[in-house]
Amino acid sequence: MPSLLHARQVHHTMRNRRLLLAGIGATLLVAVTVSFVAMMALCYRYGIRELQLDWAIRTTTGVYENVVRLNESGQGPSHWVKVFSLAGALVMLVLVACYHRFYWWPIHPIGYLTAYSSSMRILWFSFFIGWLCNAICMRYGGVLLFRRLRLFFIGLIIGDMLMGGSWAIIGLFTDGGYQVLPD
């Protein structure tokens, strides 16, 4: 999502920018809806434990256990939970303000939000390579080089998505498959 919104800002020459934003929004809505319905259908038909999706089992049982524990104890948030929540909100506010105020600010606020997520164990190196390419491009070539290389990097992303989608479709009709993300 941040990449798409930044790409929207790059398209200053477009006359109808709202059409691009509406297209991105519609695409995201359709993608989330289709993936949600597909996941619900698979889990309902086969059962979540039979699909051997460890992340889904851990997430589901973890949320359930936390809710049960909090309901049984009857406690509200402690003083330290409030302090750390306010500190996190303050750090996020500073990161967002610096990111939008200073063009040279290298830290994206989304990175702070996703730093503790389970997906960062898999994706951190890809994010680092993307950031490094962008930083080198902007430092040594400026906006002109960025505009020249933009379609190349968008092509890499689209190619990766097409490869993963192609193998997903092939996997529907055969017993074979391809693991897009590392384990």
Residues 70 and 65: their CA atoms lie apart, in Å, by: 9
Residue carrying the six token digits 């996941």: 39
State the pLDDT confidence band at 4, using cuts at 50, 70 and 90. Answer: low
What average pLDDT is seen over the chain? 82
Does the model's pTM come out above 0.75? no
Residue carrying the six token digits 């990111």: 99
* pLDDT tens-digit readout, 20-40: 778 888 999 999 999 999 988
Q: Amino acid identity of 79?
A: H
**Tell me, what's the pLDDT at 9?**
63
Is pLDDT of 115 > 90? no
Residues 46 and 56: their CA atoms lie apart, in Å, by: 14
Residues 119 and 117: their CA atoms lie apart, in Å, by: 5
Whole-angstrom CA distances from 126 to 6, 101, 119, 167 are: 18, 26, 11, 20
* pLDDT tens-digit readout, 159-168: 888 888 888 8
